[in-house]
């Protein structure tokens, strides 16, 4: 798999114009302009750059990580360094929108270098892109125009700070709009929650927990064809609990049922639920219930 360490080598591979800055490029089709078209197809590649782009229309198969991007609506897409990207000749990009690419070193020594790690959308799959309303789209485009002005003008000692500030503003708005998207897509969130609960049930009913252990959140998300971060953020907005908290609640509820079987030891209950160490199971149970598994069993017998 090809990996591009510099912005220049990445853009050169895409057959796009050279950047005005060694660590930053801005393409914007404002007015009657058009975006330059990248190469027609590519095998899986990675690079050390962040990318933010607004595509007005896309069709064909674009693979990002393990997910195909196959919807035909305008969307704001965030790509992180070292994410796998692949597309074929069937992909058609309308030459409207914008694309900002910057090497991760562009943020070194700035507050944004740490802040950007907190934005979950850089870990989302392409099919979890941000769908903007016309009003939101205009607002984002106005920020991009400010970035482009600084990018195209003769850059001075203030240019980088101004661009970093504008990027930070763009990310804050994107975060707000994602919050709106989670709220407005309740039906999708409910379906995702049902699918997640079904995955937990299937894991337990498979009878393989003792042998294979409980699957990781990433493995569960992969089966659901969503990213781990998007799954956690969606469940958090829908229920107030993270994926880890949901898994723990499910395991403890199942543990209660098994603990009522007097012929099984605490260790056997732990192994049956996929815990490698019974002590960890006991600590988790006490944290969730306020009493140990042994105390829970005694309490039930008393009642």
Order the strands of the 24-28 sheet from edge to edge.
Answer: 24-28, 97-103, 49-55, 75-79
Question: What's residue 49's pLDDT?
Answer: 95
Q: How distant, in Å, are the alpha carbons of 54, 94, 97, 206 from that of 36? A: 13, 10, 11, 51
pTM above 0.75, yes or no: no
pLDDT in tens, 15-28: 888 998 999 999 98
Residue 213 banded pLDDT, cuts 50, 70, 90: confident
pLDDT in tens, 253-295: 889 888 988 788 999 999 888 888 899 999 999 998 999 999 9
Residue 128 banded pLDDT, cuts 50, 70, 90: confident
| Cα end-to-end distance, the chain, whole Å | 62
pLDDT in tens, 48-89: 999 998 875 455 555 544 444 444 445 888 989 998 888 776
Question: What's residue 116's pLDDT?
Answer: 94
Go through the domains of the chain in sequence order and give each one's CATH number.
2-184 (2.60.120.280), 187-302 (1.10.10.60)
Residue 239 falls in which region: left (phi positive, over 0), alpha (psi -120 to 50) or beta: alpha
Question: What's residue 237's pLDDT?
Answer: 78
Mean pLDDT of 187-210: 78
Two structure tokens written together for 113? 């270098």
What are residue 262's phi and psi, to 5 degrees? -65, -15
Residue 109 banded pLDDT, cuts 50, 70, 90: very high
Percent of the chain with pLDDT over 70: 85
Closest CA to 143 of 121, 162, 160, 157: 162
Residue 214 near residue 251 (C-beta atoms within 8 A):
yes
Question: What's residue 112's pLDDT?
Answer: 96
């Amino acid at each position: 798999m090809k990996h591009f360490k510099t912005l220049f080598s990445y853009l050169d591979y895409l057959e796009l114009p050279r950047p005005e800055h060694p660590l930053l490029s801005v393409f914007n089709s404002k007015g009657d302009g058009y975006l330059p078209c990248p190469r027609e197809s590519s095998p899986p590649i990675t690079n050390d750059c962040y990318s933010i782009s607004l595509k007005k229309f896309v069709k064909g198969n674009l693979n990002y990580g393990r997910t195909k991007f196959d919807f035909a609506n305008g969307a704001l897409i965030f790509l992180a360094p070292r994410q796998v990207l692949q597309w074929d000749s069937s992909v058609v990009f309308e030459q409207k929108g914008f694309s900002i690419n910057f090497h991760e070193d562009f943020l070194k020594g700035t507050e944004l270098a740490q802040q950007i790690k907190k934005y979950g959308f850089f870990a989302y799959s392409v099919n979890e892109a941000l769908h903007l309303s016309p009003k939101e789209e205009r607002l984002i485009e106005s920020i991009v125009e400010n970035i482009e002005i600084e990018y195209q003008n003769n850059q001075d000692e203030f240019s980088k700070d101004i661009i970093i500030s504008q990027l930070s503003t763009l990310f804050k708005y994107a975060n707000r709009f994602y919050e709106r998207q989670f709220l407005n897509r309740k039906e999708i969130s409910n379906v995702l929650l049902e699918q997640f609960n079904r995955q937990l049930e299937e894991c337990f009913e498979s009878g393989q927990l003792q042998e294979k252990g409980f699957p990781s959140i990433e493995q569960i998300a992969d089966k659901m064809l969503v990213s781990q971060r998007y799954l956690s953020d969606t469940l958090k907005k829908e229920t107030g609990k993270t994926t880890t908290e949901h898994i723990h609640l499910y395991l403890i509820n199942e543990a209660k049922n098994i603990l009522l079987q007097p012929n099984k030891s605490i260790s056997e209950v732990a192994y049956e639920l996929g815990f490698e160490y019974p002590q960890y199971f006991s600590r988790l149970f006490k944290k969730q219930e306020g009493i140990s598994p042994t105390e829970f069993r005694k309490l039930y017998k008393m009642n």
